[in-house]
């Protein structure tokens, strides 16, 4: 397989008010791990070797491999010519003269890669685990009004609400680029259904919330995801990377 060559090139016309979001079901790519490994840089190969579990290593190799292929498509280069660098607080970026920004997240069997021109983008996907104490975590890391909102939700809906809130928060701080050093309890996001995602309140600037677009969605029943972009008026287009390296719009 030559990853990516099958993809319909017209998909890669990313306009200035679109977010392209790629869903990669990792299991479907498992037979191609070696192919992806072969297009990684030596640093990336070294990093891949460090993972303790094969599952984590495969996830890293596949996600990085697909990220290389997709980035290459968007900036018209070859996958192996792509080089990555880091921003001040460790957020990965493209080391090329381009306005293209990306962000990656994975959980369980799902990886997501988002692309946007000109503006900062952050995303997060989480597998909905039901064996964690969401109220306890919220107590420690959420803002006061988020804790109140979560407490008010009926028990069987708390998990989804928690993950909706968490992915929105994480997507926001990932777009900000400062990692978890960002104070999680000093901004709030909504917890409502997917189409009502919004940044509620940021304690350092009452106008900050006017600057962000947030989208929430479920890649499938077991996952919740959120994307944020530091700009207004964006629309979200979703694609799936299937096992033959073909992109299909969802």
Partner 1 sequence: MNGTLAHKIAQLSEEQRKILLHKIKLVHTDEAPSGATKKITAYVQPKTNFDLDLLKKYVRDRLPDYMVPTSFHIVEDIPLLPNGKVDKRALKKLPVVQETIDTEVVKPNSEVEEKLVSIWEEVLNFSPISIDDNFFEIGGDSILSIQIISKARKEGIMLAANQLFEYQTINELSTYLLHQKEDKTKKYDYLTALRKEGTKTPLFCIHSGGGHVFFYQLLAKYLKPGRPIYAIEPTGLYENEKMHLDIKEMTTDYLKVIRDIQPHGPYNVLVHCFSTSVGQEMALQLEGINEEINIIVADNMASPWNAQSSDVLKVRLRSFFKRLFRSPVKTIKLFMLERAYLIEPIIVKIFGKDYEKELERLKANLRKMSLEYNRWNEKHHGQVSLLLTDKPDQNFQNLIINSWKEIAQGGVRVFPVKGEHTTLFEEPDVQHVSEKLDKCILE
Contact positions vs partner 1 (CB under 8 A) = 34, 37-38, 42, 45, 49-56, 87-88, 107, 124, 126, 129, 132-133, 136-137, 139-141, 143-145, 148, 166, 170, 178-184, 186, 188, 201, 203-207
Minimum CB distance to partner 1 smaller for 43 or for 249:
43
What minimum distance in Å lies between the beta carbon of 129 and partner 1? 8
Minimum CB distance to partner 1 smaller for 94 or for 147:
147
What minimum distance in Å lies between the beta carbon of 207 and partner 1? 8
Minimum CB distance to partner 1 smaller for 208 or for 246:
208
What minimum distance in Å lies between the beta carbon of 124 and partner 1? 8
> What are the tokens at 183?
């104070």
How many CA atoms within 13 Å lie on the side-chain side of 47? 12
- How far apart CA 107 and CA 47 sit, in angstroms, is 18
Question: Which residue in 97, 82, 9 sits closest to 40, CA to CA?
Answer: 82
- How far apart CA 111 and CA 126 sit, in angstroms, is 10
Output DSSP code: residue 244: T
Minimum CB distance to partner 1 smaller for 45 or for 193:
45
What minimum distance in Å lies between the beta carbon of 141 and partner 1? 6
Minimum CB distance to partner 1 smaller for 212 or for 239:
212
What minimum distance in Å lies between the beta carbon of 235 and partner 1? 23
CB-based contact 147:134 (threshold 8 Å): no
Q: What phi-psi label fits residue 238: left (phi over 0), alpha (psi between -120 and 50 degrees) or beta?
A: beta
- How far apart CA 50 and CA 199 sit, in angstroms, is 37
């Amino acid at each position: 397989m030559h990853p990516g060559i099958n993809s319909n090139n017209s998909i890669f016309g990313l306009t200035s008010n679109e977010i392209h979001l790629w869903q990669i079901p990792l299991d479907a790519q498992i037979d191609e791990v070696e192919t992806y490994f072969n297009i990684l840089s030596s640093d990336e190969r070294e990093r891949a070797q460090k993972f303790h579990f094969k599952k984590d290593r495969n996830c890293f190799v596949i996600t990085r491999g697909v990220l290389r292929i997709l980035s290459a498509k968007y900036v018209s280069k070859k996958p192996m010519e792509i080089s990555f660098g880091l921003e001040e607080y460790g957020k990965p970026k493209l080391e090329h003269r381009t306005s293209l920004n990306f962000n990656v997240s994975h959980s369980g069997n799902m990886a997501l890669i988002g692309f946007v021109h000109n503006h900062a983008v952050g995303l997060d996907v989480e597998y909905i685990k039901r064996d964690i104490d969401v109220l306890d975590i919220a107590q420690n890391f959420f803002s006061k009004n988020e804790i109140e909102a979560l407490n008010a939700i009926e028990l069987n809906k708390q998990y989804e609400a928690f993950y909706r809130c968490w992915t929105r928060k994480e997507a926001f701080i990932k777009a900000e680029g400062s990692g978890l050093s960002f104070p999680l309890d000093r901004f709030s996001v909504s917890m409502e259904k997917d189409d009502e995602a919004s940044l509620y309140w940021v304690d350092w600037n009452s106008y900050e919330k006017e600057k962000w677009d947030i989208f929430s969605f479920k890649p499938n029943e077991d996952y919740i995801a959120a994307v944020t972009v530091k700009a207004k008026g964006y629309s979200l287009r979703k694609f799936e990377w299937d096992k033959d390296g073909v992109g299909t719009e969802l």
